[in-house]
Amino acid sequence: MKNILLVCTGNTCRSPMAEAMLDNAVENSDVLDGEIKTDSAGTFAFEGGEPANYAKLAMNEIDLSIDKHKSKQIDRDLAEWADLILAMDSAVQEQLAVMYPEFEDKIKLLKEYVFGTDAEEDSLNIEDPYGEDLETYQETRDDIKNTIDALVKKLERENKEI
């Protein structure tokens, strides 16, 4: 069993969307179903907050719901639980490394973990859509979806090798 924690700033947009997508993909994978547990959190989250309305709408458009999600702040227990902590952008990755230096080896930038370090640094960040329009949330959703799809393929390959 591998525990994956997805982390953004407020845990109301990017990480809940990524968590719902990853959960759905794992559930539909013959290789990963029952092998991966996911959770999400924020580095500056208001406990029990609702997802952003546009995040909910963008996810509903692809038949996934984050309506029941409640935001939460990352804490030591969650960081310890995770085998892999995937940050949505480099600022979040840096915050996590400062907050939990003892877990730095398992804190990764999501896109860098999936695609490697060849891309330009800015393109490795999943931009925060908070406060933007629906189209921006849709673009962010699509960016996350492409990355999660590639992550699932990577995890399936790794799981087959074990």
Query: Catalytic residues, which ones?
Result: 8, 14, 128
Structural contact between residues 26 and 32, judged by C-beta atoms closer than 8 angstroms = yes
Tell me 100's DSSP state: -
Number of C-beta neighbours around residue 142 at 10 A: 12
Structural contact between residues 87 and 9, judged by C-beta atoms closer than 8 angstroms = no
Tell me 47's DSSP state: T
Q: Please give the backbone phi and psi of residue 35, each rounded to the nearest 5 degrees, phi first.
A: -105, -15
Helix residue spans in 28-133 (DSSP H): 53-60, 76-81, 90-99, 110-115
Nearest to 88 by CA among 66, 70, 114, 118: 114
- 108 vs 66: CA distance, rounded Å: 24
